């Protein structure tokens, strides 16, 4: 219940006293309540992964209202998240979350995700959460960049919702034989279906 209350606060922080974003932003529209309920199924999948793997340095593409950062604060005692979004209003959400926890573990970049990933290419990360532009062309480029970075864990959102995402994931796995399709949240709702790709040891 605490998570639901804070998620609603995050949504309000994004849209309070301003027009609804002209942006495919998941919960930031009139589907908010339904998407919130459905997304909790995906939250459980991500939370279990975080508890088992304890990643320290993390990439996120598609900050939106910042729910992934909130999950990280809840599940990890020590982490560093680098997150990007083309919508600068996401910065307010990141500031809201950091202030809520009294820490500064989340760094926001107002950049296109491909530009963002190329700028941090030489750094080492434990996890990539990919949830930005939901087209085949964009996601396959994101996957190739993080795959070339040899990031050991890749989480991709909305797998069962959008066919382009499925094609991008499968084409990536055909080319990058060093990665395997590890697990799937198996949520067939319109939001929250997540796949985990792991670098083979």
Q: Give residue 22's pLDDT.
A: 39
Give the dihedral sign, CA 168/186/54/85.
positive
For helices 90-101 and 67-75, give the axis angle rounded to 10 degrees. Answer: 20
Q: What is the pLDDT of residues 116-165, one digit of tens each?
A: 999 999 999 999 999 999 999 999 999 999 999 999 999 999 888 889 99
Q: Give residue 25's pLDDT.
A: 41
- Identify whether the C-beta of residue 65 lies closer than 8 Å to the C-beta of residue 93: yes
Q: Give residue 90's pLDDT.
A: 86
Spell out, as residue ranges, where the chain has pLDDT lower than 70.
1-39, 187-192
- Identify whether the C-beta of residue 93 lies closer than 8 Å to the C-beta of residue 161: no
Q: Give residue 189's pLDDT.
A: 58
**Cβ-proximal residues to 82 (8 Å cutoff; 6+ apart), any chain:** 57, 58, 59, 60, 107, 109, 116, 120, 125
Q: Give residue 197's pLDDT.
A: 98
Q: List Cα–Cα distances, 176 to 53, 122, 182, 198, in angstroms.
A: 22, 19, 14, 11
Q: Give residue 23's pLDDT.
A: 37
Structure tokens at 95: 């500031």
């Amino acid at each position: 219940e605490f998570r639901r209350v804070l998620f609603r606060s995050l949504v309000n922080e994004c849209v309070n006293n301003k027009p609804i974003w002209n942006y495919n932003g998941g919960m930031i529209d009139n589907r908010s309540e339904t998407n919130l309920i459905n997304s909790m199924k995906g939250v459980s999948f991500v939370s279990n992964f975080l508890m088992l793997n304890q990643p320290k340095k993390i990439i996120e593409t598609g900050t939106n209202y910042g729910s992934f950062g909130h999950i990280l604060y809840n599940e990890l005692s020590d982490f560093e998240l680098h997150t990007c979004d083309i919508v600068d209003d996401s910065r307010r959400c990141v500031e809201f979350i950091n202030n809520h926890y009294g820490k500064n573990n989340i760094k926001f970049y107002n950049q296109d995700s491909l530009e963002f990933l190329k700028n941090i290419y030489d750094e080492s990360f434990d996890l990539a959460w990919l949830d930005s532009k939901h087209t085949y062309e964009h996601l396959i480029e994101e996957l190739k960049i993080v795959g070339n970075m040899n990031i050991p864990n890749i989480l991709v959102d909305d797998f069962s919702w959008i066919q382009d995402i499925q094609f991008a994931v499968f084409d990536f796995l055909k080319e990058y034989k060093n990665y395997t399709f590890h697990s799937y949240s198996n949520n067939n709702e319109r939001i929250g279906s997540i796949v985990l790709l792991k670098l083979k040891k």
